[in-house]
Amino acid sequence: MRLPPFEVLEPVTLKNALSMLEKHKGKVKVIAGGTEIVGLMKLGLSVPPYILSLRKIKNLHGIKKSEGQIIIRSNTTLREIIESSLINDLFKGISQAANSVAAPPIQNRATIGGNILQNSRCMYYNQSELFRDGLKPCYKAGGDMCRAVKGGNRCFSVYQGDMAPALISFNAKAKLEKSASSRTILISDLFTGKGENPHSIGENELLTDIIIPIPKGQYSSAYEKLRIRKSLEYPLMSSAVFVSGNMNGEVIDARIVLGAAGSSPKIIDKVSKALKGKKPSNKDIEEASEAVLQFVEVVDNLPVPASYRRKMAIIYTKRAIQKALKDLRKDR
């Protein structure tokens, strides 16, 4: 598979990058680590005339602590996140999520920004041009039908990023900049819920920072991921859990976020509330995990059946809650 022709833009400052994005709006795609976008270009699923590389922008990289929060610049690699003792000490679930992405060669190149902004996937769409040529285009390809769901009136492609569910469980925010202005929004608000176009980032915007508030008091987190093999595998279902409370295991606050359970990460508020204000028994954990099922929106468009992924949403949520609660009780 060959890459289509394109022109490379290599700004050395953020200001430069933002004005290039503005100038070529609609015709330019950003490349960070390139581990996703290059594959999409080879499949002919993304054919931008211009590619804007972030590689030479020096200050778009690094992890720092500042006034009750941690700021990760968007071009920081997953390897740096895995190796950061700051992230591992403060946000275990985020560290576990980064460690679960693909395998070391990908983690060495892949960036946190690119991970959050990866496109949703479907086994009928992420295919070669030859495969797709013989078929009518589906919603995600600009057509008017869905191959995964007969009679379906929208796209059900799956958001399979590992980092966003874990970041959302900590109420993390994203800073988006364009040449004339910037905005900071919750990462959960960066998602549209639409398979055709899963993110709300503008064509002239750059994700520059990920801002994670450091929770107060005793808290812990965990990330559990279903995959076929232990390497090079996107999540088929995942669960990120944040809990705060005391050393007796009484929960003050809880947040459960499912990954690969629809076209965006799913915040399971209703179920999280059921864990609050008590020391959850095995039965409480069991019931909370089973209750996530009603929020799972999966169809048969990944390599394992939707029925299996639904069952696994329960199992993996249960494991993540248990792991987070066990850690909450630890003396620090």
Ligand X SMILES: Cc1cc2nc3c(=O)[nH]c(=O)nc-3n(C[C@H](O)[C@H](O)[C@H](O)COP(=O)(O)OP(=O)(O)OC[C@H]3O[C@@H](n4cnc5c(N)ncnc54)[C@H](O)[C@@H]3O)c2cc1C
Nearest-angstrom CA–CA distance, 203 and 26: 6
Report the alpha-carbon distance of residue 215 to residue 69 in Å, rounded: 9
Radius of gyration of the chain (CA): 20
Number of chain positions touching ligand X (CB under 6 A): 31
Could you give the string, one character per residue 171-190, with x where binding to ligand X holds by CB under 6 A and - elsewhere? --------------------
Residue 110 contacts ligand X per CB under 6 A: yes
Partner from ligand X, ligand SF4, none binding residue 125, C-beta < 5-8 Å depending on class? ligand SF4
* 261 scored as a contact of ligand SF4 (CB under 6 A): no
Task: State which residue, 139 or 219, has the beta carbon closest to ligand SF4.
Answer: 139
User: Could you say which of ligand SF4, ligand X, none residue 122 binds, taking C-beta under 5 to 8 angstroms by partner kind?
Assistant: ligand SF4
d(CA 44, CA 130): 10
Query: Measuring CA to CA, which residue among 323, 306, 332, 275 is closest to residue 97?
Result: 323
x/- contact string, 138-157, with ligand SF4 (CB under 6 A)? xxx-----xxx------xxx
Please report how close the Cβ of residue 141 comes to ligand SF4 at its closest, in angstroms: 7
125 touches ligand SF4 by CB under 6 A: yes
Encoding tokens for residue 119? Answer: 């496109």
Beta strands 7-9 and 50-53: pairing type?
parallel
Reported as type and span, the H/E element at residue 224 is strand 218-226
Should residue 76 be labelled a site residue for ligand X when binding is judged by CB under 6 A?
no
Residue 34 contact partner, candidates ligand SF4, ligand X, none, CB within 5 to 8 A by sort of partner: ligand X
- Tell me which stretch binds ligand X (CB under 6 A): 8-16, 27-35, 150-158, 212-220: 27-35
| Least distance from ligand X to the Cβ atom of residue 104, Å | 12
Taking the C-alpha atoms of residue 213 and residue 110, their distance in angstroms, rounded to an integer, is 23
Among 10, 34, 108, 192, binds ligand X (CB under 6 A): 34
Residue selected from 80, 162, 209, 224 as contacting ligand X according to rule CB under 6 A: 162
Enclosing H/E stretch for 7: strand 7-9
Of residues 120 through 149, those in contact with ligand X by CB under 6 A are none
Burial of 40 (0-12, 13-18, 19+ CB in 10 A): middle
The distance of closest approach from Cβ of residue 179 to ligand X in the complex, given in angstroms and rounded to an integer, is 14
Shortest gap between Cβ of 81 and ligand X (angstroms)?
A: 10
**Residue 320 touches ligand SF4, criterion: CB under 6 A:** no
Of positions 10, 22, 25, 29, contacts ligand X by CB under 6 A: 29
Q: In whole angstroms, what is the distance from residue 261 CA to residue 209 CA?
A: 26
Alpha helices in the chain (DSSP H): 14-23, 37-42, 78-82, 85-90, 92-100, 104-109, 112-116, 129-133, 163-169, 269-275, 282-291, 306-328
For tokens 């946000």, name the residue. 91
Interface residues with ligand SF4 (CB under 6 A) are 122, 124-125, 138-140, 146-148, 155-157, 195, 301
Interface residues with ligand X (CB under 6 A) are 29-37, 39, 54, 74, 78, 101-102, 106, 109-111, 113-115, 117-118, 161-162, 206-207, 232-234
